[in-house]
């Protein structure tokens, strides 16, 4: 149900706030992949799914902070979109619950569907890249699916922090080339190196540097 909504309702609406999309030719067809992007606004949540999902005719499952499952309204839409919760901080049973989310994410990949991750884990109000978590690397290495780096420029002006409705501004999306990772070792150092590689590609797309 969520996919038709994205294609026929959300995509035309979102186009009103998009100035330019670059790199559409880099979106692969016929195989699953993981979308990785910078995050500056709530507007990002449906921005990339509205562009990429209809183009490949696949569902996009986002990984989001478990906090957003608490309000009834956001929980409804997250469940509708079959999003996956990520448990952070000192939440009870976080490690076990995150493992369950990882296993479900792998099942989506096996079903030839797509995942979307914001590696920074939270919004950057000023548009500057923040230090990323290694969850994106764990997904990539465990699923063996390629990563599609995407850069979003200006969405924090479309829907800045504290705003209830989009403003009269437009954003830009740049889609990079697929990244493949075939590391045999799966440890913290490897996860960190892979995460840095992904973030540096995102940084290039948005004309920034990733120095963490």
pLDDT at 81 over 90: no
Residue 48 located in a structural domain: yes
Predicted local confidence at residue 95, as pLDDT:
84
**Which residues have CB under 8 Å from 186's CB, separation 6+?**
138, 141, 142
C-alpha dihedral, 168 to 7 to 82 to 41, nearest 10°: -20
Residue 53 located in a structural domain: yes
110-132 residue pLDDT tens: 999 999 999 999 899 788 999 99
- Is the distance from CB of 53 to CB of 168 less than 8 angstroms? no
Report the predicted TM-score, pTM, of the whole model to 2 decimal places: 0.91
Residue 210 located in a structural domain: no
- Is the distance from CB of 65 to CB of 49 less than 8 angstroms? no
Residue bearing tokens 């797509």: 114
Q: What is the rounded average pLDDT of the residues 169-197?
A: 93
Predicted local confidence at residue 6, as pLDDT:
57
Predicted local confidence at residue 76, as pLDDT:
86
Number of structural domains found in the chain? 1
Residue 211 located in a structural domain: no
Residue 96 located in a structural domain: yes
Residue 212 located in a structural domain: no
pLDDT at 9 over 80: no
134-144 residue pLDDT tens: 999 999 999 99
Q: What is the CATH number of the domain that holds 160?
A: 3.40.1130.10
Residue 9 located in a structural domain: yes
- Which domain covers residue 33, as residue numbers? 2-205
DSSP 153: E
Residue 128 located in a structural domain: yes
Residue bearing tokens 């923040």: 130
């Amino acid at each position: 149900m969520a996919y038709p909504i994205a294609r026929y309702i959300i995509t035309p609406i979102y186009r009103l706030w998009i100035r330019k999309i670059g790199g559409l030719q880099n979106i692969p067809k016929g195989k699953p992949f993981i979308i990785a992007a910078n995050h500056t606004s709530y507007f990002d949540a449906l921005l990339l799914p509205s562009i990429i999902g209809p183009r490949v005719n696949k569902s996009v499952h986002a990984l989001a902070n478990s906090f957003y499952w608490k309000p009834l309204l956001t929980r409804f839409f997250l469940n509708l979109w079959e999003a996956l919760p990520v448990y952070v901080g000192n939440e009870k049973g976080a490690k076990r619950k995150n493992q369950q989310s990882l296993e479900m994410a792998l099942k989506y990949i096996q079903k030839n569907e797509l995942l979307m991750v914001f590696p920074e884990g939270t919004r950057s109000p000023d548009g500057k890249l923040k230090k990323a978590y290694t969850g994106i690397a764990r997904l990539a290495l465990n699923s063996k699916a390629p990563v599609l780096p995407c850069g979003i420029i200006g969405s924090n002006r479309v829907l800045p922090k504290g705003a209830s409705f989009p403003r009269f501004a437009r954003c830009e999306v740049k889609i990079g080339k697929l990244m493949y990772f075939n590391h045999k070792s799966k440890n913290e150092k490897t996860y960190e190196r892979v995460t840095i590689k992904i973030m540096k590609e995102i940084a290039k797309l948005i004309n920034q540097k990733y120095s963490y």
